[in-house]
Amino acid sequence: MARNTEKTPPIRRGQPDVQLGHDAFAERYLKDFSDPAFAAEGIALERLVEVAWGAYIEGRKAPLTRKAGVGYADPEYDLSLDWLQARAAIDEAQTRQSDPHTPTRILLICASPRSEHTCPGEMSKSFRLLEAARAVITGSGCECDTLELSRVTAEYGRNIHPCKGCVSTAMPLCHWPCSHNSGHPDNSGHPSFETANRFHAERCQSADFSS
């Protein structure tokens, strides 16, 4: 048998460092409290900065964990509770989707950031089209979920973190739901996002990212 003499390609590194020093971190953290109404809580905010700095410098992305347990390669591994909850929701969505006895279920996504609750002051045409499509779908006897991405721009505390492209290096680096963004895999606050997550994961697993 011929021996494979190909060398493992080197890992490409050299991008600028992203690690913040204490002062830069504190300045950035306190920007959320620039309202003069917070001025009276300056001492309290200083304490919060030190707590947040400790979490940042120690890399405590997932402070709430439990042992992985049965079904995982390392049952003693400390898994994030947020990750486990997201995983359970995705598995539940997959179970519903795979059950032939459940009604056909369609996910509609309004990807427009426009909202009547922000600067434009008027709903998007995409949302109006979504509403028209929903009426047709539900009228045909199908179930319909909607995911309105305009809520990310209009509603406080909603975030959907981007994919970091791990699979472009190697498929085994991608696991779902992603735990690399923060302690919270997603903060969209919408059950339909779990269905979208499953769709995204299946597309990643079937695609070829080698080029």
Same domain, 115 and 211: no
- 161 token code pair: 């973190």
Report pLDDT for 161: 79
- 91 token code pair: 């598995």
Same domain, 107 and 201: no
* Alpha-carbon gap, residue 136 to 147, rounded angstroms: 17
Same domain, 190 and 200: yes
Report pLDDT for 32: 94
**Number of domains composing the chain:** 2
* Alpha-carbon gap, residue 161 to 82, rounded angstroms: 14
Same domain, 175 and 97: yes
pTM of the model as a whole:
0.72
Rg (CA), the chain: 22
Non-local CB neighbours of 40 within 8 Å, separated by 6+ positions: none
Sequential pLDDT tens for the chain (211 residues): 566 677 888 888 999 999 999 999 999 999 999 999 999 999 999 999 999 999 999 998 888 999 999 988 899 999 989 888 888 888 888 898 899 999 998 999 999 999 999 988 999 999 999 999 999 999 999 999 999 999 999 999 888 878 888 888 888 877 667 765 544 444 544 555 555 554 444 444 444 444 3
- 108 token code pair: 């509609």
Report pLDDT for 94: 86
Report pLDDT for 50: 98
Range of the domain at 116: 103-158
Report pLDDT for 62: 85
**What is each CA distance from 114 to 59, 86, 107, 125, 127, in whole angstroms?**
35, 27, 20, 9, 9
